[in-house]
């Protein structure tokens, strides 16, 4: 599965479950290099999801597929978000069952997310 396919699945599923979602998508530069326009600290998670209902909240999610690993800058964002009390995940296609349960706002123990 490509990260773009995983991203599409997650956004579709989240919206179907009533989440408000945004995805920060990189664009290809004229040089062929991919970059995401930003000001401030790089490495912000791919998705922000918001649901004000019971079992909802604010979720920051960095998506990875295959052997892709977090960059150091992405790890800093995840670590700092979690340290500040936010719900921040690194989600992979192998987590789809847990993701689906979280998005459906079912009661899933945090250690399984």
Compute the least distance from the CB of residue 78 to Mg ion, in Å: 11
User: Whose Cβ is closer to Mg ion: residue 52's or residue 80's?
Assistant: 80
In this structure, the number of other CB atoms found within 10 A of the CB of residue 78 comes to 19
Compute the least distance from the CB of residue 93 to Mg ion, in Å: 12
Subset of 17-56 contacting Mg ion (CB under 5 A): 46
Contact call for residues 6 and 63 (beta carbons, < 8 A)? yes
Task: Compose the 54-83 pattern: x for residues touching Mg ion by CB under 5 A, - for all others.
Answer: ---------x--------------------
Give strand ranges (E) for the chain.
20-23, 27-28, 34-35, 47-51, 57-63, 87-91
Residue 14 binds Mg ion, judged by CB under 5 A:
no
User: Whose Cβ is closer to Mg ion: residue 51's or residue 89's?
Assistant: 89
The β-bridge partners of 35 are 27
Compute the least distance from the CB of residue 92 to Mg ion, in Å: 10
Dihedral angle sign, alpha carbons of residues 106, 82, 7, 70: negative
- 3-state class (DSSP) for residue 6: helix
Compute the least distance from the CB of residue 68 to Mg ion, in Å: 7
Give contact residues for Mg ion (rule: CB under 5 A). 46, 63
């Amino acid at each position: 599965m490509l990260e773009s396919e995983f991203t599409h699945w997650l956004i579709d599923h989240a919206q179907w479950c009533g989440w408000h979602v945004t995805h920060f998508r990189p664009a290809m530069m004229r040089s062929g290099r991919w970059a995401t326009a930003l000001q401030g600290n790089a490495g912000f998670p791919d998705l922000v999801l918001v649901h004000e209902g019971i079992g909802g909240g604010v979720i920051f999610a960095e998506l990875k597929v295959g052997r892709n690993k977090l960059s150091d800058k992405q790890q800093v964002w995840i670590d700092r978000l979690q340290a500040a009390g936010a719900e921040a995940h690194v989600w992979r296609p192998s987590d789809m069952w847990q993701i689906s349960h979280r998005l459906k706002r079912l009661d899933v123990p945090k250690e399984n997310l």
